[in-house]
Amino acid sequence: MSFYSTGIALSKDIPDIEGDKQHGIDSFSMHLGQKKVFWICIFLFEMAFGVAFLAGATSSSPFWIKIVTTLGSFVLASILWYQTKYVDVTNPASTRSFYSLNWKLLMGAYFLLPLIR
């Protein structure tokens, strides 16, 4: 979950690069660029889902729980990857919508987390 939390923390600054410039806030989006930070966040999110997938697959849980956790992690990662092609990092509304989607995916991951042991 720390990969995912770091990704969310970084992605919240992507849409407001102009506000950061006006107020003199040094953010990763300002230094590295919105597109690069966006893809760093995607990498972190996918890493989190990959770790959850592996943890579910190798857990000592019953077989049906392994199926639910691995399939659930795969579906969440696929939704994220599918939505990346519709994000325009220069459009604040688009990146805010994507940020909101990430919170929804995180809630889905939190649903799967108790199943892994």
Structure confidence at residue 20 as a pLDDT band (50, 70, 90): confident
pLDDT digits 0-9 by tens, 57-111: 998 889 999 999 999 999 999 999 999 999 999 898 999 999 999 999 999 999 9
pLDDT value, residue 1: 67
Task: Give the CATH number of domain 2-115.
Answer: 1.20.120
Q: Which residues contact 71 (CB under 8 A, 6 or more apart)?
A: none
Average confidence (pLDDT) over 110-114:
87
The domain spans of the chain are 2-115
- SS3 percent helix, strand, coil of the chain, rounded to 5, is 80, 0, 20
Residue 46 predicted with pLDDT over 70: yes
pTM score of the predicted model:
0.88
